[in-house]
Amino acid sequence: MRYLSVRRFSRRALRAFVLTAALAGCASAPNDDGSGLAGPNDVNDPLETVNRLVFSVNVAVDTLVLQPVAVTYRDLMWPPIKNNIHNLLLNARLPLTFLNAILQGNFSHAEQTASRFVSNMVLLWVGDVGPGEEQPEDFGQTLARWGVEDGGPYIMLPLLGPSNLRDGAGRVVDFFIDPLGAVAGSTVTVGRAAGGAVDSRSRNVDEVRDLQASSLDYYATVRSLYRQQRQAMIENSTDGSGQPAPTISIDAFTSSDEEAATN
């Protein structure tokens, strides 16, 4: 069984890295004025018309489905159970963070992540999974560390939320190389994603409502917050500059997740 899991993981990783080789070189894209590569503060949103349409659909799905489920979960679930579910979801993400930390050459972070994962698995059996401090890593961040500094055009993905070419490719690679998926199967990773979406959304209901009410252009605000958040995550910033971008985002655990998870 262990041999089959290793073989399955190897095949997934090989497909992921082939895809990365095909897409990473295309991640850099010219900004709107055609003068060169877009910096972190440039709009670089050539698909804005389509992106706004997808964003409107995402907001509608959030309003009609995700938010009501999240509010019901927040208000009716017993708080100790909610906390344990939240911590369990975070812990299920740690193997992927560990692998990306290794790929980035950040071995101290990898060691801390592995230690936390093992400790939390032990504590789980006594009903208490400590959240601790965690800096999540994904393959989009890994690509940035490998030199793909410009993420390319801004993309609003259906249900998955804000992204760009680099981070979109990173999402696909993460799906294939995720150790949890290799061991437990894709059904478990999909369940983790769905559970993470509800748990995260339940933690920022009021913040999202306030942002929607106060934003002159909600789409542009989310776009700006997403870029700030991603830059902070790439730099492993702890100064609070990585405010989550509040829009539908499946399995989006961020550096701010301990306080108010991104939805």
166/179 Cα distance (integer angstroms): 21
Other Cβ atoms less than 10 A from the Cβ of 131: the count is: 14
Q: What is the pLDDT of residue 26?
A: 47
Residue type, 193: A
The b/e string for 135-163 (b: 16+ C-beta within 10 A; e otherwise) is: bbbbbbbbbbbeebebbbbbbbbeebbbb
Q: What is the mean pLDDT of each run of 10 residues along the chain (263 residues)?
A: 47 46 43 37 85 95 93 94 88 93 95 88 59 78 91 93 94 92 83 89 90 92 90 75 49 42 34
Q: Are residues 60 and 140 in contact, defined by beta-carbon separation less than 8 angstroms? A: no
In what helix (H) or strand (E) does residue 239 lie, and over which residues does it extend?
none
pTM listed for this prediction: 0.76
Q: Which pair of tokens denotes residue 38?
A: 């877009």
Q: What is the pLDDT of residue 20?
A: 44
Tokens of 74: 């927040």
Look at residue 16 in the predicted model and tell me its pLDDT.
Answer: 46
CB-count burial class (<10 Å; 0-12, 13-18, 19+) for 184? middle
∠ CA 176-247-244, rounded to 5°: 85
Alpha-carbon distances of 169 from 20, 39, 100, 140, 212, rounded to whole Å: 7, 19, 14, 7, 29
Residue 13 pLDDT: 45
Buried-state track 4-27, b at ≥16 Cβ within 10 A, e below 16: eeeeebeebbeebeeebeebbeeb
Q: What is the DSSP letter of 157?
A: E
